[in-house]
Structure 1
């Protein structure tokens, strides 16, 4: 029975060179006939903003606790819910980042985002008319870039994909899927 269920779901995708995600994490997004070329989690720099806000907020709350005497009950007991809220907010951003995937297969480009509300955007490789990527100075320093894809349609959900790690290698892999490995 177990063998029949696994055979019905198709072959398991093999681990991919250059991928930074586990195979089981992306399996649900792949068609049985697809081959995964690369699957990466978005770059960790995407959570720098929430981390900086949380650390600054916690430092400010600690300063409030230190500055005001323990007799000030509003500050003393008001700091804890605010600090807890900051930590939960930051944790949500980290968990969302851990569940964001940029996947390139032999048939399409997929961006899966979200933690509670999941959003999966897809662009068939045959629809891609132009593709480029750019790297800001910060992106060059940290190792991420932004992919810009053009297709024949007006509204496309995958026009820009930010915080793609190792954009040089990912770009070459996408070009390999678009044009084939033996392009001169």
Structure 2
């Protein structure tokens, strides 16, 4: 799902548009695959009697709450988290109702590093740490898919942006 282009300047281009790695959805899917059969089994095992309907309703409510908290919430978090790299800046956005975001100009980036565990290395994801010359300093992006490729591409774009800025400054000096 591509993020809205209205956050971009007229001549700004998206280089990478990423969600966190799919591994963040493994546990929510397991919760779903566990809650549905267990709740179904428990509801079927409720003995007949006057309390059968309320107990079954209780089981369904508990199951629904577990699915909402354990599955849907994580899915919505994944869907609404974006890591966007343009030719000018690094953009992060997350949240559905209450939105949070941060933009970091590529020309302000000082250092880009990544780390991943053994499992993350096998899955091809990791944590990207982007250091900036600005006040807020560091931007931490967790569960970035293809983290090594993203680090390399971000470095190339930051280098290009810095060169373009320096060339533009020299060009302005020569015209004056």
- TM-score by length of structure 2 reads 0.76
Question: CA-atom RMSD, angstroms?
Answer: 2.5
- 1:160-184 CA-to-partner distances (Å, cap 9, x unmatched) read 1011111122122111101239x9x
Match of 1:53 in 2: 31
1:25-36 equivalences under 5 Å are 25-36=3-14
**Does 2:15 align with 1:37?**
yes
Where 2:141 maps in the other structure, the secondary structure is: strand
Contact 1:36 1:104 in 2 (8 A): yes
Distance 1:123 1:70, change over 3 A: farther
* Unaligned runs of at least 5 residues, structure 1: 1-20
User: How many corresponding residue pairs?
Assistant: 159
- TM-score by length of structure 1 reads 0.73
Instruction: Report the structure, 1 or 2, having the larger helix content.
Output: 2
Contact 1:64 1:75 in 2 (8 A): no
**Counterpart selection for 1:108 from 89, 106, 127:** 89
1:67-86 equivalences under 5 Å are 67-71=45-49, 72-73=51-52, 74-86=54-66
Match of 2:101 in 1: 120
**Does 2:42 align with 1:64?**
yes
Distance 1:180 1:155, change over 3 A: closer
Larger Rg: 2
